[in-house]
Amino acid sequence: MSIETPKISVIIPLYNAEKYIKITLMSLKNQTFKDFEIVIVDDCSTDESLKIVKEFKETEEIGEKIRIIELEKNGGISNTRNVGLRFSKGEYITFLDNDDLLIPAALEKFLNFAEEFQAEVIHTHSHYQNAKDAVHGDIMQFRMASFEHGNKKNLMKPAYPLTNDMSERMYQFSIYGIDWNVWGKFFRRDFLMINGIQFPKIALTEDMLFVFQTLLYAKKYIMIPDPLYVYRYRNDSTLHKDRDEGFLRKVVKVEIEGTKLLNSFMDELDHFKDNKHFKDRECVINFYLSLEHLATKLMQKKFVDREDYFELINEIYTEHFGKDATFIAFIHKLANQQQPDTKPPWPTN
């Protein structure tokens, strides 16, 4: 292997993961495929995360594969991943969160499928490991997380190419048939670069917007049934902490910015310029807004009085009236609709 021209770049955004990062790196040490680099971008961690990584780099044989980039200013997850993309050298890219794992054969299987299908994107299953899941020696208990939440009949299918019918892709995206998390996927680097695909500067759902762009441009987007990625569900993570008024305000801002970004992405393709396909655009936007509203619904249990919750929602939306008045009125209506009591397709405890 030449570290200057690795086949695969594994990009790890690092921020305050001192309890988890060593196990994450060990999952890379145990990979059956060896021609890869590890690009770790530290976003100004305030705990021992960076120290642990540096010690690992010095003491483990796999340390020669590790490149550490230390940011001078905290810029958030989108910036951190984009820096990793910019400094990566591999023919293929995959993202690994600093508290998750890859199974030992993950990189080998990713690459084999990518080369067999000459694919731009490989899309795999993931395992979810809950904090309460039992650990017996080296054996962990996992729950399966499927990209086929909305299309379970394909769970046991062999690898297959996603349809190139854009309307069908948008439909699958909107029913969770295509998991929008960036982890558990494998990208050809030149495909990302040629199409200018990177993470937008947005506070939430940045990975959804990234994956959505790959759906728009990939001619060979391959779905594989193998669960290669292990997502470790953490109750102490920023995403899963109690949500408060500040979180609600952030969600509304994301709804506005994210919807504009989705529309701008679709505006680049002739498919969406054709009025016959307006329903495809509407399908995407409705799904995105419904998902954002689900995030706010999950925190309603904090409010003893539902009226308090909706008064806060109304206050936040009122603050945004102006040039976005029509759009805000639309999502304001959605927010006040009675939603069915359904569970999201991921663990919530």
SS (H, E, C) 226-263: EEEEEEECCCCCCCCCCCCHHHHHHHHHHHHHHHHHHH
Which domain does 308 fall in, by range?
A: 245-335
**175 and 322 in one domain?**
no
pLDDT at 175: 80
Q: Do residue 64 and residue 143 come from a single domain?
A: yes
> What angle separates helix 245-267 from helix 206-217, to the nearest 10 degrees?
10
Q: Fill in the amino acid letter for 153.
A: K
Give CA–CA dist 119/97, Å, rounded: 23
Q: Degrees (nearest 5) of the Cα angle 161, 272, 77? A: 70
Same domain flag for 217 and 261:
no
Return d(Cα 40, Cα 335) in angstroms, integer. 39
Distance CA 23, CA 99 (A): 8
341 domain-assigned: no
Q: Are residues 174 and 49 in the same domain?
A: yes
Q: Tell me the CA distances in angstroms from 57 to 1, 34, 40, 129, one per residue in order.
A: 18, 16, 11, 27
Identity at 143, one-letter amino acid code: R
Looking at residue 320, its pLDDT comes to 66
Domain end marker among 183, 206, 232 = 232
DSSP 8-state class, residue 302: G
State the Cα–Cα distance between residues 293 and 229, nearest whole angstrom.
Answer: 27
Best CA proximity match to 96, nearest among 192, 229, 226: 229
pLDDT number for residue 135: 44
Show Cβ contacts of residue 259 under 8 Å, excluding neighbours closer than 6 positions.
285, 288, 289, 327
> Would you state the pLDDT for residue 293?
66
Q: What is the dihedral of CA 21, 23, 25, 31, to 10 degrees?
A: -160
Q: Phi/psi at 82 (nearest 5 deg)? A: -65, -35
The long-range contacts involving 108-113, CB below 8 angstroms and separated by at least 24 positions, are 108/31, 108/32, 108/33, 109/224, 109/226, 109/228, 110/8, 110/186, 110/228, 111/7, 111/8, 111/33, 111/186, 113/159, 113/186, 113/222, 113/224
pLDDT at 204: 87
Same domain for 272 and 203? no
165 CB neighbour count, 10 Å cutoff: 11
State which H helix or E strand residue 225 sits in.
strand 221-232
CA distance linking residue 343 with residue 176, whole number of Å: 13
Residue 237: inside a domain, yes or no?
no
Domain membership of residue 343 (yes or no) is no
Q: How far apart are CA 92 and CA 294, in angstroms?
A: 34
- Asked if residues 200 and 95 have their Cβ atoms less than 8 Å apart, the reply is no
Same domain flag for 228 and 257:
no
285 found inside a domain: yes
* Locus of tokens 């080998």: 108
Within a domain: 345 = no
Q: Which of 25, 45, 35, 40 is nearest to 84 (CA)?
A: 40
Q: Which CATH number belongs to the domain containing residue 118 in this structure?
A: 3.90.550.10
**129 and 257 together in one domain:** no
Query: Do 180 and 98 belong to one domain?
Result: yes
Quick check: 221 and 123 in contact, CB under 8 A?
yes
Does 279 share its domain with 193? no
pLDDT at 342: 43
Does residue 163 share a domain with residue 287? no
Domain assignment present for 344: no
Whole-number Cα distances in Å, 243 to 209, 255, 257: 22, 16, 20
pLDDT at 307: 72
Please indicate, yes or no, whether residues 12 and 68 belong to a single structural domain of this protein.
Answer: yes
**What pLDDT sits at residue 328?**
62
Q: Single out the residue in 211, 232, 253 at which a domain terminates.
A: 232
Amino acid 172: pLDDT: 87
The helix/strand/coil state of 23 is helix
The number of folded domains in the chain is 2
Indicate whether 126 belongs to any domain. Answer: yes
**pTM greater than 0.75 (yes/no):** yes
Per-residue pLDDT tens digits of the chain, which is 349 residues long = 445 789 999 999 999 999 999 999 999 999 999 999 999 999 999 999 999 999 999 999 999 999 999 999 999 999 999 999 999 999 999 999 999 999 999 999 999 999 999 999 999 877 656 555 434 433 444 444 444 444 444 555 689 999 999 999 999 888 877 888 899 999 999 999 999 999 999 988 999 999 999 999 999 999 998 888 888 866 555 554 555 667 777 877 888 889 889 999 999 999 999 989 999 998 898 888 877 666 666 555 566 566 776 777 677 767 766 666 656 666 655 555 554 444 444 444 4
Alpha-carbon distances of 113 from 3, 90, 144, 316, rounded to whole Å: 23, 16, 21, 47
Q: Is 1 among the domain residues?
A: no
Distance CA 284, CA 174 (A): 6
Q: Are residues 172 and 259 in the same domain?
A: no
Task: Out of 198, 232, 266, pick the residue that ends a domain.
Answer: 232
